[in-house]
Structure 1
Amino acid sequence: MAKTTLTLLTLALLLLLLSTPAHSTSPPAIYVFGDSAVDAGNNNFLDIEIKSNFAPYGIDYPGGVATGRFTNGLTFADFISQWFGLMLIPPIMDGHSTQGANTKGFNYASAAAGLLPKTCEVTKNPMSMGKQVELFTKTVNEYLPSLPMYKDKAALSSDLSKSFFLVHMGSNDYMLNYFDPNFSTAKEHNPEQFADLLVTELGKSLEELSNLGARKFIVFGIGLLGCTPVVIDKMKVETKCAESVNEAVKIFNTKLEAKLVQLCSTLKGSTFTMGNPYNLGREVMDNPGFKETRKPCCGSGDGKGPCSRNQVPCQDRTAYKFWDFTHPTQATHELLAKKCFDGTGVCTPLNLIELMQKI
């Protein structure tokens, strides 16, 4: 039975690889930082209630495994790494990920993480953006130099400079902090001030990564939070989306774009491309390629919460934009990844193929 399961998993992975637009050249590694959008299973190893290591999460992942990803299958970070011919980037908190000689990258992202310490206090999540950078510092200073291929510091520096650093962070600072009526954050900061606060914090982390050797960055802005099922439910909006939430997020994205332009000039040798799921989300809402863009494929209370354990999800998951109350389906992840990988308008000023070719 175990052998049959292994064979099916191998076949599923093979079919998945054959169906992707693989590229002949790839970055040496991809390092992923962020929240539940790109968490590859780190929360499985944390003392935190927010987890997704149970069915129906992972129902479309190779082998139907609930890995701890907050979707029905792969995330956009997974698609990107596969299309570059790399493995699925393992979660840093899984002790097995550092037992061998892994030179292809690590995933530091954690669901419910934020840029601000206060945001992480809400969910008792220790993996803020600052903590994730701390873990990467340990990877650079301790783990990677212990590998035979990186005994030469120049070799490590060279590979780090060519590797991709993917960041998706900030959504929870709005969802679990700014727009939570239980906190006074919105009374203390107007949308402009709060966006400045977040962008400043993110900028500090990006500078720290640069000081550790990072040179090629893909930094994602925030998507249409006002169109997520949970926000629509909480704010009782009659229209497609809660536009007041979207407008606040749009301010953040604008300021982030300006910050990345600034960092390009101050961090010599660094290249930043910005991923903008906001614009793609608007395109999907206005001209849907999905049959359902408001209701989730699964989730408790008609969009109020995550999928219940062993809940039966919708049958055609490719027709849904949202998997649960706030997270996208694998189909949505793949659309974002494809647009960013070799398309136009989502990752600018360079898509990832162009970033790969950047010297």
Structure 2
Amino acid sequence: MSTASVPLPNWINYALLPLINLTLAFLVSGLVVWIIGENPWEALQLMLQGALGRGEGIGFTLFYATNFIFTGLSVAVAYHAGLFNIGSEGQAYVGGLGAALAALALDHYVPWYVTMPFAVLGAALFGAAWALIPALLQAKRGSHIVITTIMFNFIGAALMVYLLVNVFIVPGKMAPETRTFLEGGQLPKLDWLIAMFGGKLGPAPFNVSFLIALVMCVVVWVLIWRTKLGFEMRTMGLSRSAADYAGISYTRIVVITMLISGGLAGMMALNPVLGASARLQVEFVGGAGFVGIAVSLMGRNHPLGIIIAAILFGVLYQGGAELSFDMPNITRDMIVVIQGLVILFAGALEFMCRPMIVRAYQTFVKG
């Protein structure tokens, strides 16, 4: 029997293997840091201190993590149905339009907690709508979802630039962005949450969308593992022929799954649009849709694992920014290299250590 088919306990699959892969990624990263003439241990300390050492750093770390939770969930939902949604970037971008329209329409009249449900719904609907055409092309015409969602990323970016430059731009301003939302269209900061642990949030844009992301994690867990629809999605993902034999409609599952996936990606826009900048800007997604792929893979497509992986990437983003200030030799490009190594070991080389772990498990645990 090959090692790939040997069943392992969940604590190995979901904890030990990711930990080993992450350790290898940091060891290789440390070697790169040492080669350029810096102390790897000192670099790691500075990174962790910048990301987790004070309230402001924690706020920025969780702000980035919020983006990655939404996009990671988006990728995970599609993955469970056997679909690989590469379009979270574009879906989040278009989802920002739905959130911004809600804020622009309501911020004059109602407080933020009235605007928020409409913004959540708008972001989800616009993100889902942007995933609908690739879903129909996959289900009806056999066009591969990877190709169509990648193409729709570029179409969505072009559409949003056109709208911001020609439709929503503030008269007399050069910046392609909407007007700043009033207080009724802004999500408040979670400074009270950081204060509970004795820290000060400062200028970090950590906001209520983090709580929405956690709620979505619970919703996705219930959907995938506690509902009939989730069972049908997982069945489709494991074996399309078995799903067909059981009478599960391929077209229905593909379309519903992609709508949910696109809606989750669209909700990512709440964090930067209503939380951080309080306006819709060009390129606000900033690659979070693609990072979500790594977050989902590293988190084993489980909401709890996605939260942990998202925080890790939040640490890399915030800690890396601080590190590039304290160690000038470690440029922003070097931080991208470190992030790439984490993605490489956690994703592409995910099962590199599995044969060794299987042999050790069979030898020392099962005898």
TM-score, length of structure 2 as denominator length? 0.26
Pair member with larger Rg: 2
TM-score, length of structure 1 as denominator length? 0.27
Structure with more strand by fraction: 1
